[in-house]
């Protein structure tokens, strides 16, 4: 490859980028997001048996849920990266936490993908967390495909669901597959995109054969019966009359969401989703840096760290920084410029992922996610280039909503606790503030579950015990001002409630909404920020 002439190398590079599909799967908890991920891996040939995510009786657990706490609770608490080849495409899936307590991890993940699949529970419809995730997608004009899951259970009428999706997610929809009934009467899906009927035998563990039938022949009645055949034809006629034809440009602009129906657990409708997705979904798209727009076809490598995970392999206390390749080609052992540190670094063992299973990779192209060994050199948002000073934005930390003092429960393990807290904060699991009045460490989160996860991981991964003490605070806000005298006056008056974050920035810990609003009124020249990126 090194000896290709420039024009042929450019063509080869463009082909490599064009065949990549990097996307996140997002959903409200228990909508079936991780089950869908498992089935996509099954079709991609990466696993032979899909794991049941919820049942503790089934010892096989989901591939993407690799932490012990995830296996025990049946939920995802951190983003997993999974990659495989499917036909001529290279698929990079980021399976995100559904629980709202880990929404910040999901938000950062959405900065590293080119499109999103949203999973909706057919019985519950659009839920609160789904609305928040859709807002993030809308902010970035990220193309969205919707998969309505659990059609093998009783749920809402498909047409009512489409109306609900349009109204609440504020996006036009177009069904590209259609369910044949639901619940126990569910027979399969009609693939509108390919104009074929696919009937499946329910199977949780293996990919089943499908039957293709011409919908306009009497053969349809033989497979699904007279009543359901008539209903399907009427539904399809109604769809073509009500919904405009699918427009890929509208989808790529984030204005139209194709909708698929199925059952991830029983392999209904998943392959239709995957086959259509790889065809219509965008390849890597330009990424906006502070200085300029970075195009994926640029020959020089650029990338940014959007996530850091400690102890991905419990046998080795190592950290991995997840880096999204934004342009060009990354090569192992090549020197790259770390913009924040202002120095050049080589990476001898970059990896690609199958959840916690990872393999060393020699090269990666725009759109790929690579893992870089991290011994404390990376922070979320760091940029790597071939020498250019670039800063990719859009990776803020949000103002926490819950606060607790963290205390050492075992004086003999002070070092382990300090290291554990540092690494977990680097991951973005929560935020650490040091109170300037009493010097105590305060952990801020967006939900109670994060405190449990931190305590569990400190004990199991770092052999460090911690305990929590309540602290009554309303909100953390970063402060800055062009009026130094007013800023110093404010900090003197609010000395008990002033803290420093890990970057050494001043943070005001307001103890009530009233006190915060009064502070904003009294100190006109101070800017109060509710995200760390300003």
Both 64 and 213 in a single domain?
yes
Which carries the bigger pLDDT value, residue 162 or residue 215? 162
Whole-number pLDDT of residue 28: 81
- CATH number of the domain that residue 163 is part of: 3.40.50.300
Per-residue pLDDT of 121-176, as tens digits, reads 999 988 877 887 888 788 788 999 999 999 888 989 999 999 999 999 999 999 99
Both 377 and 486 in a single domain?
no
Both 311 and 166 in a single domain?
no
**Confidence band of 258 (pLDDT split at 50, 70, 90):** very high
- What is residue 470's three-state secondary structure? strand
Q: Is there a domain that residue 176 lies in?
A: yes
Q: Is there a domain that residue 320 lies in?
A: yes
Please name which of 28, 105, 113, 169 lies closest in space to residue 398, comparing C-alpha atoms. Answer: 105
Both 238 and 374 in a single domain?
no
User: Helices (DSSP H) in 253-403: which residue ranges?
Assistant: 270-280
Q: Is the pLDDT of residue 2 over 70?
A: no
Long-range contacts of 218-226 (CB under 8 A, 24+ apart): 223/187, 223/197, 223/199, 224/180, 224/187, 224/188, 224/199
Last residue of a domain, one of 280, 312, 336: 280
Burial 306-345 (b: 16+ CB within 10 A, else e): bbbbbbbeeeeeebbbbbbbbbbbbebeeebbbbeeeeee
Whole-number pLDDT of residue 103: 56
- Residue 5 makes CB contacts below 8 A (sequence gap 6+) with none
Answer for the pair 95, 79: CB distance below 8 angstroms, yes or no: yes
Which whole number is the average pLDDT over 63-88?
A: 59
**Confidence band of 465 (pLDDT split at 50, 70, 90):** very high
Whole-number pLDDT of residue 211: 65
Both 458 and 490 in a single domain?
yes
Q: Is there a domain that residue 64 lies in?
A: yes
Whole-number pLDDT of residue 424: 82
Whole-number pLDDT of residue 519: 93
Q: Is there a domain that residue 242 lies in?
A: yes
* Structure tokens given for 371: 């893992």
Q: Is the pLDDT of residue 4 over 70?
A: no
Whole-number pLDDT of residue 137: 84
- CATH number of the domain that residue 446 is part of: 3.30.70.3280
Which carries the bigger pLDDT value, residue 327 or residue 219? 327
Q: Is the pLDDT of residue 34 over 50?
A: yes
What count of residues does the chain have? 534
Both 76 and 25 in a single domain?
yes
Both 237 and 376 in a single domain?
no
Cβ count within 10 A of residue 532: 20
**Confidence band of 407 (pLDDT split at 50, 70, 90):** very high
Answer for the pair 347, 305: CB distance below 8 angstroms, yes or no: no
Mean pLDDT lowest for which of 66-70, 248-252, 412-416? 66-70
Which carries the bigger pLDDT value, residue 452 or residue 509? 509
Cβ count within 10 A of residue 69: 16
Both 225 and 304 in a single domain?
no
Q: Is the pLDDT of residue 80 over 90?
A: no
pTM of the predicted structure, to 2 decimals: 0.76
Which whole number is the average pLDDT over 56-68?
A: 43
Q: Which domain holds residue 494?
A: 402-529
Q: Is there a domain that residue 13 lies in?
A: no
Q: What is the DSSP letter of 245?
A: P
Angle CA 247–252–254, to nearest 5: 100
Number of domains in the chain: 3
Both 88 and 205 in a single domain?
yes
Which carries the bigger pLDDT value, residue 484 or residue 68? 484
Both 47 and 175 in a single domain?
yes
Whole-number pLDDT of residue 297: 92
The average confidence (pLDDT) of the chain is 82
Per-residue pLDDT of 81-135, as tens digits, reads 788 888 889 998 887 764 454 456 677 778 889 999 999 999 998 887 788 788 8
Return the CA Rg of the chain. Answer: 25
Rounded distance between C-alpha atoms, residue 74 and residue 332, angstroms? 36
Rounded distance between C-alpha atoms, residue 526 and residue 483, angstroms? 8
Give the CA distances from residue 512 to residues 263, 406, 430, 480, in Å, rounded to whole numbers and listed in that order. 46, 21, 21, 20
Both 301 and 185 in a single domain?
no
Q: How far apart are the first and last CA of the chain?
A: 43
Whole-number pLDDT of residue 3: 47
Both 365 and 426 in a single domain?
no
Rounded distance between C-alpha atoms, residue 462 and residue 449, angstroms? 19
Rounded distance between C-alpha atoms, residue 459 and residue 220, angstroms? 59
Percent of the chain with pLDDT over 90: 38
Whole-number pLDDT of residue 204: 52
Whole-number pLDDT of residue 111: 83
Q: Is the pLDDT of residue 51 over 50?
A: no
Which whole number is the average pLDDT over 309-329?
A: 74
Q: Is there a domain that residue 5 lies in?
A: no
**Confidence band of 313 (pLDDT split at 50, 70, 90):** low
- CATH number of the domain that residue 366 is part of: 2.40.30.10
Last residue of a domain, one of 385, 412, 446: 385
Give the CA distances from residue 131 to residues 74, 96, 169, in Å, rounded to whole numbers and listed in that order. 23, 15, 6
Rounded distance between C-alpha atoms, residue 523 and residue 534, angstroms? 19
Last residue of a domain, one of 350, 385, 420: 385
Mean pLDDT lowest for which of 98-102, 359-363, 382-386? 98-102
Whole-number pLDDT of residue 78: 46
Q: Is there a domain that residue 434 lies in?
A: yes
Which whole number is the average pLDDT over 472-483?
A: 92
Which whole number is the average pLDDT over 185-210?
A: 69
Rounded distance between C-alpha atoms, residue 483 and residue 469, angstroms? 36
Q: Is there a domain that residue 183 lies in?
A: yes
């Amino acid at each position: 490859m090194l000896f290709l002439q420039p024009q042929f190398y450019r063509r080869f590079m463009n082909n490599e980028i064009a065949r990549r599909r990097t996307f996140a799967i997002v959903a409200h908890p228990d909508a079936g997001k991780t089950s869908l991920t498992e089935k996509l891996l099954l079709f991609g040939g990466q696993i032979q048996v899909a794991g049941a995510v919820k049942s503790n009786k089934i010892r096989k657990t989901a591939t993407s849920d690799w932490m012990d706490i995830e296996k025990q609770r049946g939920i995802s608490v951190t983003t997993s990266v999974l990659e495989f080849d499917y036909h001529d495409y290279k698929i990079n899936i980021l399976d995100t936490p559904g629980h709202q307590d880990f929404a910040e991890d999901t938000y950062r993940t959405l900065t590293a993908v080119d499109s999103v699949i949203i999973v909706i529970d057919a019985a519950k419809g659009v839920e609160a967390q789904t609305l928040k995730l859709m807002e993030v997608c809308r902010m970035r004009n990220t193309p969205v495909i919707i998969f309505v899951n659990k059609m093998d259970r009783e749920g809402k009428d498909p047409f009512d669901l489409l109306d609900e999706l349009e109204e609440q997610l504020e996006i036009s929809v177009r069904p590209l597959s259609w369910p044949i009934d639901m619940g126990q009467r569910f027979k399969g899906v009609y693939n509108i995109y390919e104009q074929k009927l696919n009937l499946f035998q329910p199977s949780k563990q293996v990919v089943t054969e499908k039957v293709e039938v011409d919908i306009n022949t009497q053969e349809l009645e033989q497979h699904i019966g007279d009543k359901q055949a008539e209903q399907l034809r009427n539904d399809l006629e109604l769809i073509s009359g009500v919904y405009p034809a699918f427009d890929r440009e509208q989808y790529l602009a984030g204005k139209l969401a194709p909708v698929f129906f199925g059952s991830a657990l029983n392999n209904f409708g998943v392959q239709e989703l995957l086959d259509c997705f790889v065809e219509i979904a965008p390849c890597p798209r330009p990424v906006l840096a502070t200085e300029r727009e970075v195009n994926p076809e640029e020959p020089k490598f650029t990338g940014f760290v959007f996530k850091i995970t400690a102890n991905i392999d419990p046998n080795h206390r190592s950290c991995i920084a997840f880096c999204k390749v934004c342009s060009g080609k990354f090569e192992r052992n090549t020197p790259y410029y770390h913009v924040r540190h202002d120095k050049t670094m080589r990476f001898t063992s970059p990896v690609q992922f199958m959840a916690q299973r990872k393999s060393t990779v020699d090269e990666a192209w725009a759109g790929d996610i690579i893992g870089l060994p991290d011994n404390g050199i990376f922070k979320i948002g760091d940029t790597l280039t071939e020498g250019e000073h670039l800063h990719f934005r859009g990776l803020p930390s949000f103002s926490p909503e819950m606060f607790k003092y963290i205390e050492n429960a075992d004086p003999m393990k002070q070092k382990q606790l300090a290291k554990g807290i540092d690494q977990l904060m680097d991951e973005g699991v929560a935020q650490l503030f040091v109170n300037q009045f009493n010097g105590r460490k305060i952990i801020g989160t967006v939900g109670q579950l994060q405190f449990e996860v931190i305590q569990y991981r400190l004990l199991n991964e770092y052999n460090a015990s911690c305990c929590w003490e309540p602290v009554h605070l309303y909100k953390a806000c970063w402060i800055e001002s062009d009026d130094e005298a007013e800023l110093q006056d404010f900090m003197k008056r609010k000395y008990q409630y002033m803290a420093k974050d890990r970057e050494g920035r001043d943070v005001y810990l307001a103890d009530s909404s009233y006190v915060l609003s009064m502070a904003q009124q009294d100190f006109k020249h101070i800017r109060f920020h509710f995200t760390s990126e300003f």
